[in-house]
Structure 1
Amino acid sequence: MDMASHPLPPYSHPAGVPQRARWEDLAVQAAEANAFYAPDMLAAAIDHLAADGDVRLIEAREGDRLIGLLPVTVRSRHGRLPIGCVGNWVHDHCFFGAPMIRQGHEAAAWRSFLAQLDEAPWARGFLHLEAIDAAGANAAAIEAVCVEQRRGWREIHRYDRAMLRSDLTADAYWESQVRAKKRKELRRLQKRLADLGVVESRLLTDRSDVARWCGEFLALEASGWKGREGTAMGCKPADAAFFRAACAAGFDAGRLHMLRLDLDGRAIAMLVNFRHGAGAFSFKIAIDEEYGRFSPGVLIEIANLHAVQDDSAIGWMDSCAAPDHPMIDSLWAERRTIVQYRIALHGQGMTQFQRAAAFAIANGVESAARLLKGQG
């Protein structure tokens, strides 16, 4: 099995094209969907969000065939601990961190990832993986390979977040999952909003509209609390450039799923999703707070429910929301368990000593903190 760790690929150079083609082939055959590591979003993130040398791409191969892709970064700290480690690259706009692995090659890909990190002089401490599906193909392969290699590993955090996975029609799902009182209140809000003008929900279908819709989304997001707090994508040129590039490339790849709710032709809510495989990931939502009394965020989620349930190519959607989200948790009944892992790295001589010590210290501090919390 060939093993190769690469610095950032030169996407602006023709040499980057074959690599993108190999990534696309891998994405089509992926054992676990992850739109954030699909070529369109990953390339946009690397081009606009990664500092020089900040991200390394670990590729697992069998001969000339790519069977795995794991983007990683070297971190100087692990949470509050001043311990260096390697982590999967989960930037500010990435909400799922499962590596891309070819179906049927899950264990082989993880053996390669870990062997390369074991041998890499730049790999510090241990491997910290975040935003992993506890029931996914990567989690199963990690456990199997770590047991096989007698390699230390530990689940260090988990939480549930909302997802939509149902064979019901949108109307049937809405009736069965949302309380009658809330449905009645939302119908009242829809009627009151319609009294102000023409209300229309639209799905992006024309390539020529992508740039304009992106600009309107960035403006809408920046007009609210995210803009005031400086966290809207439009507040940082690099974030805005990433968003525009990801949406354009995602549309061309058939992965962008973008909705808007208009009042007299003006967007009062917009929602961006990215598809991969049989599923999709909810990426960003923006609303016009001037119309906050009409709950435009909930109203566009109703439109999104119909768009998803009416599309036979979308089997499920991950909300990518924080745990206990007050809005989406009340609308979507299903849950996805997201976990973090700490995995020991092997080595030789002082490298092995340093890595073993880092893994043991992190585990010890965490165990002590849990014990104190339990006593409290």
Structure 2
Amino acid sequence: MDMASHPALTAARAYAPTQRLRWTALAEAAAEANAFYIPEMLCAALDHLADSTVHVLEAQQDGELIGLMPVIVAGRYGRLPTGCVTNWMHDHCFFGAPLIRRGQEAAAWRGLLEQLDDAPWAPGFLHLRGLDAAGANAAALEALCVEQRRGRREVHRYDRAMLRSELDADAYWEANVRAKKRKELRRLQKRLADLGTVESRLLTDAVDLSGWCDEFLALEASGWKGAEGTALASRPQDAAFFRSACTAALESGLLHFLRMDLDGRAIAMLVNFRHGEGAFSFKIAFDEALGRFSPGVLIEIANLHAVQGDPAIGWMDSCAAADHPMIDSLWAERRTITQYRIALRGQGLARARREAAFALANGVEALGRRLKGQG
């Protein structure tokens, strides 16, 4: 199914009655969790954030949907004036693994790559971003590229914090956070409690969702993100995406929305989205006027207890940048996030151009490493 074949790309709504059921069934059977591509979030993103043409590739086997990957065409690859295809990761998408049916990983990748090989709109190569280097997607893709003798290069990787432990919250806290930091945070919790009643709670009633979304948007916009124009409320389409994704996820039981109140007023809020046994930390907002109490850290402590106390959540990806000073000091586990450059094939002139683009990118990258003394 090619989203580009439909006018104005309003197709997430248009396809919802039929496609969403198929996408949901695939998401429930996915080999690797990715909350950003489940229909609750993907449809919201297609409705509100698709500034350019998004091709939603589907791989099928015997009439069954076994793979789904949204992609776009990028006019450049880094500094190179070479077009390429890349998995669609909008500004609020922090993981890029396609949804692939468990047990059908190789067949799904084969189908997705064949579609790109045959697509007249697909230039250069496939630039895959935001994959777990140790995940099912990466393993199946590597094996298929070896089988097909298809070019594959890892072009970047970094580690980011994640939470995966059998310990309860208190034991995890004691085992992984330095004693000096624990003491300081207990002092901040006490000082904050001196100002009034502090309460942490999860969203459980759909009636409250709209108000919580309003408060989150206002709280985030009140800080540095609002000043820099990167808060969700800074652009109407971003705010609409946020509301739509939260609404759909809550209806499906996949929204994990936490807040910390001081005398009934939100001073920190945290939004997570679940998929399978995993969860993905999406956005955090806090009252910067109370920065001396570190409300962002304190709500992460509340989140630790909420996650470790929920038997339905086996792990949580921080979705944070590498070497994040706050979450890295609280969560001990790490997830390696990688990017790949995958050669595309085709026929005639299209194949020659793609081979040249892949070789050019490889050559420029190798030259850059030599100039830096890395090989």
TM-score (norm 2): 0.97
- Deviations 1:291-322, CA, capped at 9 Å, x for gaps: 00000011000000000000000000000000
| Identity in percent | 73
Q: Distance in 2 between matches of 1:90 and 1:43?
A: 13
What residue is the counterpart of 1:36 in the other structure? 36
Q: How does 1:235-246 map to 2 (within 5 A)?
A: 235-246=234-245
SS at match of 2:36: helix
Report the 3-state secondary structure (helix = DSSP H, G, I; strand = E; otherwise coil) of the residue aligned with 2:339.
strand
CA contact (8 A) 2:106 2:140 kept: yes
| Residue 116 (structure 2) pairs with residue 131 (structure 1) | no
1:85 matched to which residue of 2? 84
Structure 2 distance, partners of 1:66, 1:205, is 33
Q: Is the 8 A contact 1:166 1:316 kept in 2?
A: yes
Superposed displacement of residue 79, structure 1: 1.2
Q: How far, CA to CA, are the matches of 1:354 and 1:296 in structure 2?
A: 53
> Could you tell me whether the CA contact under 8 Å between 1:221 and 1:286 is conserved in 2?
yes
Q: Does 1:209 align with 2:208?
A: yes
The amino acid that maps onto 1:196 is L
What residue is the counterpart of 1:175 in the other structure? Answer: 174
Q: Is the 8 A contact 1:11 1:17 kept in 2?
A: no
TM-score, with length taken from structure 1: 0.97
Q: Say whether the 8 Å CA contact 1:158–1:338 is kept in structure 2.
A: yes
Any unmatched runs of 5+ in structure 2? none
How far apart in 2 are the matches of 1:224 and 1:58?
A: 38
For the Cα contact (< 8 Å) 2:125–2:357, is it kept in 1?
A: yes
* Deviation for aligned residue 1:18: 1.1
C-alpha separation in 2, matches of 1:56 and 1:96: 18
Cα deviation 1:216-272 (Å, max 9, x = unaligned):
000000000000000001000000000000000010011100000100000100000
The offset of 1:80, in angstroms, is 1.4
Deviation at 1:324, TM superposition (A): 0.1
Three-state SS of the structure 1 residue aligned to 2:95 is coil
CA distance in 2, matches of 1:243, 1:190: 30
Runs of 4+ displaced beyond 4 Å: none
Offset, 1:16: 3.1
Partner of 1:271: 270
- Structure 2: distance between partners of 1:5 and 1:144: 27
User: Structure 1 residue 181: deviation in Å?
Assistant: 0.7
Residues 108 and 215 of structure 1: CA distance in aligned 2, closer, same or farther (over 3 Å): same
Q: CA deviation at 1:375?
A: 6.7
Matches within 5 A, 1:1-376: 4-7=1-4, 8=9, 10-13=11-14, 15-51=15-51, 54-374=53-373
Cα deviation 1:166-195 (Å, max 9, x = unaligned): 000000000010111111111110110000
Amino acid at match of 1:12: R
Contact 1:60 1:109 in 2 (8 A): yes
Distance 1:26 1:9, change over 3 A: farther
Rounded Cα–Cα distance in structure 2 between residues aligned with 1:301 and 1:109 = 37
Q: Aligned partners of 2:225, 2:374: CA distance in 1, in Å?
A: 38
